[in-house]
Amino acid sequence: MTAIRQEAIKMLEKVPEDKLGFVIQIMQGVNGLYNDEQSERKEAFARLEQLRRKGTVTDYDAELASYREGKYGK
């Protein structure tokens, strides 16, 4: 066991029972921040992948002309 872990355990032993709930909430929050970082990234990437359109355009000049005609009527 590392020295930091031993020190943390000693400090926890000194915390009154009625305050342990707060300590547990803080520890869960820290663990949540640490563990969820990768899962949040994966979820965000999955959402981006769902939003991404599959390209079917082969003639980009004709596609651009079509958009211009629709927007400007020229």
Taking 70 as the threshold, does the pLDDT of residue 32 lie above it?
Answer: no
Task: Name the more confident of 74 and 60.
Answer: 60
Q: Is the pTM of this model over 0.85?
A: no
Which pLDDT does position 10 carry in this prediction?
A: 92
List the structure tokens of 58.
């082969």
**Which has more pLDDT, 58 or 67?**
67
Identify the band that residue 73 occupies on the pLDDT scale cut at 50, 70 and 90. confident
73 phi-psi bin (left φ>0, alpha ψ -120 to 50, beta other): left
- How many Å apart are CA 4 and CA 25, to the nearest integer? 20
- Report d(CA 67, CA 74) in Å as an integer: 10
DSSP structure class, residue 37: H
pLDDT for the residue numbered 53 = 72
